């Protein structure tokens, strides 16, 4: 029988898990690592290398090796312009359209690259389970917008998987933790991964996992810590070098590697030796202490506390009312992160479960629920951002507020502002600003023809339906003529 699995498609590493004999387990072939690095490298003959072998080639072939593709999922060039300038590999794409990344001799979209990682995970699961894998639950950061969720679903379909559910990562973590520990209460799930930060507030009671609020920052993660550390090393090397040092792809890849190694070493040690090579010579050799590293990265870690405050405010809770804090994501291994989070919530964060594996384990539990194998659990998730339409004069009318429980459907009535108007423009937006132009445009369409009449007489019914994946369907209908239109919202930077 085909099996359903849970997948954590991460910025840095990805994992697959399944429930076996009532227990969620990470899947991997015998002798292979449980984690698949989210790295894809292109060979001169056009073939692709995925995972551990690809990661080994980042330093050797930096222009042909793609890492952190998740940060570009469902986003156009304008969204990530600053980030693109700091990458060793080539990109192309117009503003408003999807980004393409050069992988060896090929140009690929982020969903295509992610699909290669998902195919590898699919094969690992099939080897471990000795059965076909055709369905999956795939996790995403809680603060992913509609376009990013759509892109993740596209990647799953390209990999030959029916995506049963797009599940928020912190929710998955709480699902795994709550089941294993048999705990009930109010939880904060602090998820600092390679490319994103999320905070979710959940209440667990009687087998019901209810998300009360979520917030986050899709521009903050372990990659950003590494980049900051690398910049410090590069500046110091430039001061010690008689000639200007070039920012070549090889130099950028070396800085990323050295910075990540130093950060990992200082997770366990009080100091480490840093050696930076480039231009066929040793450019920098120095001792870096944990105290010095923490001074550098403290402002970035402090940035995570503002989303925590907003999530608590939306949940109508104080920090001291949180029973337990669960740490998720590889970057939460950094001692300063645990210290600052513990001080903010006034409790010792839980780090018993492997922060790299807990999301995949929770996805496997949700997959098991959707497969009909257990009926003692109910998961109530929320949408991270408000959804609405543009109104007359450039205003923004929220249809579905942020932190609304999904799935949900909302209907509202609108009218015309011009006499004898023959069509109505419906502009669908996502965001929190009162001005439409400051929110993210998801789709536009015209409803018509409608019956000519004085301004304010038309009755236009607009329905927003948000499914359990947080993906939106919109319909509009002129109540007088019956003219109607409905469609699934597809981001302009999505796949055809």
Go through the domains of the chain in sequence order and give each one's CATH number: 3-220+304-382 (3.30.420.40), 222-299 (3.90.640.10), 387-488 (2.60.34.10)
CA distance 161 to 4: 10
- Helices (runs of H) and strands (runs of E) counted in the chain: 11, 28
Residue 491: per-residue pLDDT: 62
Catalytic residue among 8, 79, 126, 198: 8
In this structure, is the dihedral angle defined by the CA atoms of residues 430, 434, 437 and 443, taken in order, positive or negative?
positive
Residue 376: per-residue pLDDT: 78
Q: Give yes or no for residue 492 having a pLDDT over 70.
A: no
- Show the DSSP H helices in 269-334 as ranges: 290-303, 305-314
- Show the DSSP H helices in 28-67 as ranges: 52-56
Residue 462: per-residue pLDDT: 92
Q: Please state whether 192 falls in left (phi above 0), alpha (psi between -120 and 50) or beta.
A: beta
Least-confidence region, from 4-18, 204-218, 256-270: 204-218
Residue 169 is among the residues annotated as catalytic for this protein: yes
Residue 487: per-residue pLDDT: 76
Closest C-alpha among 469, 460, 465, 390 to residue 430: 390
In this structure, is the dihedral angle defined by the CA atoms of residues 144, 149, 151 and 156, taken in order, positive or negative?
positive
Residue 1: per-residue pLDDT: 61
- Parallel, antiparallel, or unpaired: how do β-strands 3-8 and 13-20 relate? antiparallel
Catalytic residue among 64, 70, 126, 224: 70
Q: Give yes or no for residue 493 having a pLDDT over 60.
A: no
Question: Helix (H, G, I), strand (E, B), or coil: what is residue 356?
Answer: coil
What is the share, in percent, of the chain residues with pLDDT greater than 70?
A: 97
Residue 8 is among the residues annotated as catalytic for this protein: yes
Residue 91: per-residue pLDDT: 87
pLDDT of 18-35, one tens digit each? 999 989 999 998 878 889
pLDDT of 372-429, one tens digit each? 888 777 888 889 899 999 998 899 999 999 999 999 999 999 888 889 888 888 899 9
Catalytic residue among 169, 217, 357, 478: 169
CA distance 36 to 16: 9
Give the DSSP letter of residue 334.
Answer: S
Element (H, E) at 277: strand 271-278
Residue 389: per-residue pLDDT: 94
Catalytic residue among 191, 381, 390, 469: 191
Token code pair at residue 430: 């996502």
CA distance 154 to 143: 18
Q: How confident is the model at residue 180 (pLDDT cuts 50, 70, 90)?
A: low
Q: How confident is the model at residue 253 (pLDDT cuts 50, 70, 90)?
A: confident
Element (H, E) at 445: strand 440-447
Residue 191 is among the residues annotated as catalytic for this protein: yes
Residue environment code for 451-490, b if the CB has 16+ CB neighbours within 10 A, otherwise e: eeeeeeebebebbbbbbbbbbbebbbbbeeeebeeeeebb
Average predicted confidence (pLDDT) for the chain: 90
Residue 329: per-residue pLDDT: 92
């Amino acid at each position: 029988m085909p099996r359903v699995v849970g997948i954590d498609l991460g910025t840095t590493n990805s994992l697959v898990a399944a429930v076996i004999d009532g227990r969620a387990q990470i899947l991997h072939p015998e002798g292979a690592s449980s984690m698949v690095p989210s790295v894809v490298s292109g060979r001169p003959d056009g073939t692709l290398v995925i995972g551990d072998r690809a990661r080994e080639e980042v330093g050797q072939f930096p222009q042909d090796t793609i890492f952190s593709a998740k940060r570009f999922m469902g986003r156009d060039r304008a969204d990530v312009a600053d980030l693109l300038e700091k990458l060793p590999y080539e990109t192309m794409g117009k503003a408003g359209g999807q980004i393409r990344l050069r992988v060896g001799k090929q140009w690929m979209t982020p969903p295509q690259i992610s699909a290669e990682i998902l195919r590898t995970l699919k094969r690992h699961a099939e080897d471990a389970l000795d059965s076909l894998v055709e369905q999956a639950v795939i996790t995403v950061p809680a603060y992913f917008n509609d376009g990013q969720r759509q892109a993740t679903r596209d990647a799953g379909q390209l990999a030959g998987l029916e995506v049963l559910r797009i599940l928020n990562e912190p929710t998955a973590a709480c699902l795994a933790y709550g089941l294993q520990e048999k705990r009930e209460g109010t939880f904060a799930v602090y998820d600092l991964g390679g490319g994103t930060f999320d905070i979710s507030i959940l209440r667990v009671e009687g087998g019901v996992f209810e998300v009360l609020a979520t917030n986050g920052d899709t521009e903050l993660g372990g990659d950003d810590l590494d980049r900051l550390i690398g910049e410090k090393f590069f500046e110091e090397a430039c001061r010690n070098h008689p000639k200007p040092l070039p920012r070549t792809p090889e130099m950028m890849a070396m800085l990323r590697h050295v910075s990540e190694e130093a950060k990992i070493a200082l997770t366990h040690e009080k100091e480490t030796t840093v050696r930076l090579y480039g231009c066929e010579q040793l450019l920098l050799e120095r001792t870096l202490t944990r105290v010095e590293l923490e001074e550098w990265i403290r402002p970035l870690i402090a940035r995570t506390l503002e989303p925590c405050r907003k999530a608590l405010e939306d949940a109508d809770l104080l920090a001291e009312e949180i029973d337990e804090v669960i740490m998720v994501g590889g970057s939460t291994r950094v001692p300063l992160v645990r210290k600052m989070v513990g001080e903010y919530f006034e409790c010792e964060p839980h780090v018993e479960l492997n922060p790299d594996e807990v999301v995949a384990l929770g996805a496997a539990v949700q997959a098991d629920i959707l497969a009909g194998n257990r009926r003692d659990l109910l998961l109530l998730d929320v949408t991270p951002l408000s959804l609405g339409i543009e109104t007359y004069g450039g205003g923004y009318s929220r249809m579905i507020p942020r932190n609304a429980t999904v799935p949900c459907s909302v209907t509202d009535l609108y009218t015309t502002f011009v006499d004898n108007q023959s069509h109505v423009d419906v502009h669908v937006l996502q965001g929190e600003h009162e001005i439409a132009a400051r929110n993210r445009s998801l789709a536009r369409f015209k409803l018509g023809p409608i019956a000519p009449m004085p301004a304010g007489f038309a009755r236009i019914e607009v329905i927003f339906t948000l499914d359990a994946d947080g993906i939106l369907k919109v319909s509009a209908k002129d109540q007088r003529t019956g003219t109607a239109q409905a469609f699934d919202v597809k981001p302009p930077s999505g796949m055809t």
